[in-house]
Chains A and B, each alone.
Chain A
Amino acid sequence: MPITETHELHKRRFGRNLGVALCLVGFCAIVFGLTIAKIRQGSQMEAFDHQPRVSITPPVETDQ
């Protein structure tokens, strides 16, 4: 059920809630920016994901 009535608590904690919200948005922005910076640096973007991947498994030597 949606909260339609504004409680006194909402007013009292508005500044605090806004601060937390801005911190969370800021954190998301930093993680995003960091990801872009890491990709531009050419960092390894794939890791182990429970199944072998060609890009992260060592090459297998074959006898010819």
Chain B
Amino acid sequence: MSDATANSTTSGPGEAQFGDYVALLKPRVMSLVVFTALVGLLVAPVAVPPMIGFTAILFIAIGAGASGALNMWYDADIDGVMKRTARRPVPSGKVAPGEALGLGIALSAMSVAMLGLATNWFAAGLLAFTIFFYAVIYTIWLKRMTPQNIVIGGAAGAFPPMIGWAVATGGVSLESALMFGLIFMWTPPHFWALALFMKSDYHKAKVPMLTVTHGREETRRQILIYTILLVPVAIGAAFTSIGGPLYLAVAVALNAIFLKGAWDIWRRDETVAEADAYATEKKVFRFSLYYLFLHFGALLAEAALRPYGLGGW
């Protein structure tokens, strides 16, 4: 998931304010987590009492925020080098690295324990694994090692609907795996479309990004490959218990447009892209945001229509 604009709540230089600690939790990423986890929970076949559902979503969001704080603690050195992230609370000196680490660990433990007590320990275990995956596997281990880091990071962002589903059902199923797959396969084309037109300074921070390590032409090819792989996952969900005619119609339309966009990106080279200021890349990136939101929105609509005999097959 992209958190390109995640630092808007920080205060000016000086002592850390409450907003700086909130900024450590990457609130924009949290908002996507809340939405997808909520959909995962609401489309599940088991009803959850509203208070328990609210608590579950809150602690899933806090768990995701905690992994963001751990990410900011570990990545403070590279965040300080890059213009986009230099104003984050740790590299800007507002929050001490130890504070970010402490907050990350404390909120991780609290969110997992509370989710377990409020719902079930399977969901709590999934949340714990998600935090571990994002903070350790992605941030500490693979982010600085492989240009496929976006793919790996995308897996962490894909877990929330699966956790939401587990909150309701106590397990995983084909449906929750497809919701995971939808976000997982969507992340690379979404992020790499952004990487093509955003002049990032990842190379300065020595983070291997596909655009730098394998070139922009290969990035264009990878966008198309991942989009092709995304299509059956997105449309396949229509034929499970969470899908229906409405979702199918939405998914077919959105995937056709997204595929056309990825095809257009692949067909272009840098000269053409620079000539129109990366118009196609920007368009595809913007569309990718609607793509994910509308897919999950359609799943939610199917679930909402079901009691009236309209949703589902």
Kindly list chain B residues whose C-beta atoms are within 8 Å of the C-beta of A28: none
B274 on interface, CB distance cutoff 8 Å: no
B16 on interface, CB distance cutoff 8 Å: yes
- Decide: B58 and A30 in contact? CB cutoff 8 A: yes
A12 to B15, CA, bound (A): 8
- Given known A30-B58, A34-B118, contact A15–B17 (CB-CB < 8 A): yes
Kindly list chain A residues whose C-beta atoms are within 8 Å of the C-beta of B15: 12-13
Kindly list chain A residues whose C-beta atoms are within 8 Å of the C-beta of B58: 30
- Decide: A16 and B17 in contact? CB cutoff 8 A: yes
- For window 14-64 of B, CB contacts with A under 8 Å fall at 15-18, 21, 49, 51-52, 55, 58
Kindly list chain A residues whose C-beta atoms are within 8 Å of the C-beta of B118: 34
A19 to B11, CA, bound (A): 14
* Closest CB pairs A-B (n = 6): A19-B18, A37-B51, A16-B18, A33-B51, A37-B49, A15-B17
Kindly list chain B residues whose C-beta atoms are within 8 Å of the C-beta of A12: 15
A10 to B49, CA, bound (A): 41
- When C-beta atoms are compared, the residue in chain A nearest to B110 turns out to be A27
In the complex, number of A-B residue pairs with CB atoms less than 8 Å apart:
29
- Decide: B18 and A40 in contact? CB cutoff 8 A: no
Kindly list chain B residues whose C-beta atoms are within 8 Å of the C-beta of A38: 52
- Decide: A34 and B18 in contact? CB cutoff 8 A: no
- For window 10-27 of A, CB contacts with B under 8 Å fall at 12-13, 15-16, 18-20
- Given known A30-B55, A30-B58, contact A20–B49 (CB-CB < 8 A): no
The residues of B with any CB-CB pair to A shorter than 8 Å are 15-18, 21, 49, 51-52, 55, 58, 117-118
- When C-beta atoms are compared, the residue in chain B nearest to A30 turns out to be B55
Question: Within the complex, what minimum Cβ distance (angstroms) separates B106 from chain A?
Answer: 12
Question: Chain B's interface: helix, strand, loop or mixed, by majority?
Answer: helix
A13 to B15, CA, bound (A): 9
- Decide: A37 and B16 in contact? CB cutoff 8 A: no
- When C-beta atoms are compared, the residue in chain A nearest to B16 turns out to be A16
Kindly list chain A residues whose C-beta atoms are within 8 Å of the C-beta of B52: 34, 37-38, 41
A31 to B36, CA, bound (A): 24
Question: Within the complex, what minimum Cβ distance (angstroms) separates A54 from chain B?
Answer: 25
Kindly list chain B residues whose C-beta atoms are within 8 Å of the C-beta of A18: 18
- For window 25-61 of A, CB contacts with B under 8 Å fall at 30, 33-34, 36-38, 40-41
- Decide: B16 and A34 in contact? CB cutoff 8 A: no
- When C-beta atoms are compared, the residue in chain A nearest to B59 turns out to be A30
- Decide: A20 and B55 in contact? CB cutoff 8 A: no
Kindly list chain B residues whose C-beta atoms are within 8 Å of the C-beta of A41: 49, 52
> When the two chains form the complex, which single residue of A15, A30, A33, A36 contacts B18, counting CB atoms closer than 8 Å?
A15
Q: Can you list 9 contacts pairing A with B, beta carbon distance less than 8 Å?
A: A13-B15, A16-B18, A16-B21, A18-B18, A34-B51, A37-B52, A38-B52, A40-B49, A41-B52
Kindly list chain A residues whose C-beta atoms are within 8 Å of the C-beta of B51: 33-34, 36-37
Question: Within the complex, what minimum Cβ distance (angstroms) separates A57 from chain B?
Answer: 23
Question: Within the complex, what minimum Cβ distance (angstroms) separates A58 from chain B?
Answer: 23
Kindly list chain A residues whose C-beta atoms are within 8 Å of the C-beta of B16: 16
Question: Within the complex, what minimum Cβ distance (angstroms) separates A27 from chain B?
Answer: 9
Q: A12, A16, A40: which has the most chain B beta carbons within 10 Å? A: A16
> When the two chains form the complex, which single residue of B17, B21, B55 contacts A34, counting CB atoms closer than 8 Å?
B55
Kindly list chain A residues whose C-beta atoms are within 8 Å of the C-beta of B21: 16, 19
